[in-house]
Chain A
Amino acid sequence: MPAKNIAFSARERSLIRTVTEAGPRTKLLIGALALVFGWGLYAYVYQLRHGLAATDMHEYALWGLYITNFVFFIGISHVGALMSAILRITHAEWRRPITRMAEVITFSALLFGAVMPIVDLGRPEHILNLLFHPNLQSPIVWDLLCIFTYLVGSSIFLYLPLIPDIALMRDGVQGLAGWRRVVYRVLSLNWQNTPAQHERLERAMGIMAVLIIPIAVAVHTVVAFIFSMTLRPGWNSTIFGPYFVAGALVSGAAAVMVAMAILRRVYHLEAYITLQHFRNLAILVFTFDLFYIYFNIAEYFTMGYKIEEGERALLLALMGGAYAPAFWLTQLGGLLLPAFLLLVPSLKPLRLLRGLRVLRPAALGLIVLLEGLTLIGPVRTVLAQSWITSAGPAPLLSVWVFVGLLGLLFISLLPLLHAHPIPTYVLAGLLIVVQAWIKRYLIVVPTLMNPLLPVEPAPLEWLRYNPTWVEWSITAGSLAGFVLVYVLFTKVFPIVSIWETRETPAPAGRPAAYEAGEAKA
């Protein structure tokens, strides 16, 4: 097919270069990700050979990292297509440059989310029994149906708006590698940019946008049902479906925000993605975050108020026992702190705190000084009797002094965060995503470790769960694979929709490419 003469604007040319060209750093990244992914594959082969005995799972912690990853990935996948669909339906124009970025997260996370339960199976070689003998009463079969439907649906939803861009790549870019020409020719489905084709595409996209919303909600609801259809304390909850949906919304939206910032930085997409996009998305993440905090309160407060016998042990373990650091870290550091951070760039009075800059070295200095002093024997004995240090095995600053100094440091940093909104948003997003994984772990494992009818005396190995190298490797491999699929996608298809960003009232004097192309043809 002869290349049509299609005019690309400067930002489009720059965007297309990110697709067709790969610098050494990109190659290094892809290589490193592939290596970690390969290592995960090796660990899985090892597990296939030795069975689940290669993991540390046992009759108490009968699910572990794999199911944690499963819920995490499904959660991350949740928002991409859903958000994009909602923004499309509501005609939010600012969505145009970011919908694809979000949808690819759905696609990639869903791939690995769907794989995780298979990795967790004791007999993966019998998985086809799910197709031959499905028991429709089982939440796992609901999951299978929903996740598969969502995977297909979100892939179509991702693919449809890609078609015109693939055709653009096919027709407008000279000197493409052979495989690219084949891929673009096949996947563009003979798109010729005719009005009839456009009309059909818009119709299909409209239908998919509507369809994808209930499917997305259903997916995470039935994932929650796997847990809440049991009688176990902590899972036996009526709000688990919406609770998981809320958790998925916040983690997924945070992931989109982080991905947006990274892509903008690495691929120099400043011409497409502006601060306003971050501000809009931050409002979304903030809203979801508050929703999720609300659900957490609804869940734990009602449980903790009544202290039913079965739930008592679980609550004690979560809030004051072995899981307490992780629990409070997720609640305070992973939900409350990000909610505040998301507001910081919009809080104008914070500029007034600029005078507190002196606090920064002071607080930091005090922490270092006091920690240092505790190392000197005589001073330590004096300090040990004071309120500044707590008498522990290794005398450190007392928790309250430490928290106070950290608080001072944080306050002094606020004007800095206010002045740099995008890094602040990314920090909040990262905190939320990390929180999401730990929170999934805290949903899966502690409940299993506190069964309704504990065995007394239980075998020692049932009382702890220390994931093995196999489990960590597969976890790392799946995370690397998730990023790898994303990176590879950006190397085959433009990560920003070219034809859709053209429709927005662009800076004047830029002819629409296809009009130029059609005129010549």
Chain B
Amino acid sequence: MDTVQRKQGEEKAVAEVQSPSRRRLLIALGTAGASALAAQAGILARPGQPAEAQSKASGARQWAMVIDLRRCEGCVTRGEPPGCTEACNREHFVPKGQAWIQVLRLEQPNGGSYFLPRLCMQCENAPCLKVCPVGATFRDAEGVILIDHRRCIGCRLCMAACPYGARFFNWGQPENPPGATFARYSPEYPVPHRRGTAEKCMLCAHRTADGKLPACVEGCPMLAIYLGDLNEDLATNGSEIVKLSRFLAENNAFRLMEELGTRPRVWYIPGHGQQYGHTLDDPREIKEARPWQELQGGDQGNGSGHGG
């Protein structure tokens, strides 16, 4: 209960700081849901897994993510480092050595390899959340797992518990952008970074609260990443809006290590970047994402004024 109260206070703080046009995206999603896809809703009266989450949902939004692996080619055909990782690095000033969204190269069981961006799965049965001895890891009203770095003691049991390796640790003092000391820290936007605390993707909670898409969604040049809302049953990659449950069902979406029972809120649509002509035997390796220090300067969407 303590967590909820704290969360509400911070939400208010974030709302004050951020721009007034808070519900742009949400309105877009809402109107689309009411009109265009209303007809299809009848066909899919059984929305599958999202309903399970829906019943528990308390907030207005229950964020989820879909990553269409048919569109993810690790940015090797572009010849660039992964756009999602770099957008994330730029947005959060992610400390060196960490990759909150990391494009893994995985072996296909029948030969060849494919790419899979791994971020925090925002598990409904989150192993990290249960084991935190001080309750620094908590779930916000919109189903996002956040870390209160002010409370974290740095025991790393959450990292040991996370089966996805989504958590990272500030072993030393991470470099912060100039002016970060004046930034208003919130678990939704954990800048400045602190030594001895665990860090991870928090689904850009500061951006979704502001009606914006997460940095990786915007940063993916291949439009492979969708942000979805389990309550509205919609998802968007910034250019198209799909009905979430139908999109998942029709494309055989899966969740990572489903058998562990963590019930992630990140779904993957199987593929190997074929939509952009990437083949399974493409030997090209992922280029290493550059840290934010090398990405600064004149690029669009940097920090959205949070860092300064």
Contact = CB atoms under 8 A, between A and B. Distances in A.
Given A50-B172, A122-B170, A230-B160, A127 B153 contact: yes
B134 interface: yes
B131 A451 contact: no
Contact of B157 (A59, A226, A451): A226
A121 B172 contact: no
Interface in A29-74: 50-53, 55, 57-59, 62-63
Nearest to B164: A453
B221 to A, nearest CB: 22
B173 A51 contact: yes
A510 to B, nearest CB: 55
A516 to B, nearest CB: 56
A129 B160 CA distance: 20
Contact of B131 (A126, A229, A455): A229
Interface stretch (A15-23, A135-143, A200-208, A427-435): A135-143
Contacts of A126: 134, 151-154
Contacts of B197: 122-123
A121 B159 CA distance: 13
25 contacts: A52-B172, A53-B171, A57-B171, A59-B169, A120-B156, A121-B154, A122-B169, A122-B197, A133-B151, A134-B133, A135-B132, A138-B132, A138-B134, A138-B157, A139-B131, A141-B133, A144-B133, A229-B130, A230-B161, A231-B163, A231-B262, A452-B165, A453-B257, A455-B165, A456-B106
Contact of A62 (B2, B118, B152, B169): B169
Interface in B220-264: 256-257, 260, 262
Contacts of B285: 457
B153 A130 contact: yes
B165 A451 contact: yes
B1 to A, nearest CB: 12
A395 interface: no
Contacts of A122: 152-156, 169-171, 195-198
Interface string A225-245: 011011110000000000000
Interface of B is mostly: loop
Interface residues of A, number: 44
B161 A123 contact: no
B186 interface: no
Contact of A453 (B155, B157, B165): B165
Nearest to A233: B163
A400 B157 CA distance: 44
B195 A51 contact: yes
Contact of A231 (B159, B169, B196, B260): B260
Contacts of A314: none
A117 interface: yes
Nearest to B116: A453
Contact of A129 (B2, B151, B161, B194): B151
Interface in B100-140: 102, 104-106, 118, 127, 130-136
Contact of B163 (A135, A232, A457): A232
Nearest to B257: A452
Contact of B153 (A50, A121, A139): A121
Among all A-B residue pairs, the 3 with the closest Cβ atoms: A122-B154, A122-B196, A53-B172
A212 interface: no
B267 interface: no
**Candidate in A62, A226, A451 with the most chain B CB atoms within 10 angstroms:** A62
A182 to B, nearest CB: 38
Interface of A is mostly: loop
A133 B2 contact: yes
A214 B155 CA distance: 27
A124 B197 CA distance: 11
Contacts of B173: 51, 53
Interface residues of B, number: 44
Given A58-B171, A63-B156, A122-B169, A129 B134 contact: yes
Nearest to B159: A62
Q: Which has the most chain B C-beta neighbours within 10 Å: A122, A127, A226? A: A122
Contacts of A138: 130-134, 157
Interface in B251-301: 256-257, 260, 262, 285
A212 to B, nearest CB: 25
B9 interface: no
A453 B256 contact: yes
A231 B155 contact: no
B118 A230 contact: no
Most interface-central of B133, B157, B164, B194 (chain A CB within 10 A):
B133
A505 interface: no
Nearest to B167: A59
Contacts of B127: 230-231
Interface in B165-182: 165, 168-173
B114 to A, nearest CB: 11
A50 B171 CA distance: 9
Contacts of A51: 170-173, 195-196
A153 to B, nearest CB: 22
B151 A117 contact: no
Given A122-B197, A133-B136, A454-B165, 14 more contacts: A52-B172, A62-B169, A122-B171, A122-B196, A126-B134, A126-B151, A129-B136, A134-B133, A134-B134, A135-B133, A138-B132, A144-B133, A230-B127, A232-B160
Nearest to B261: A231
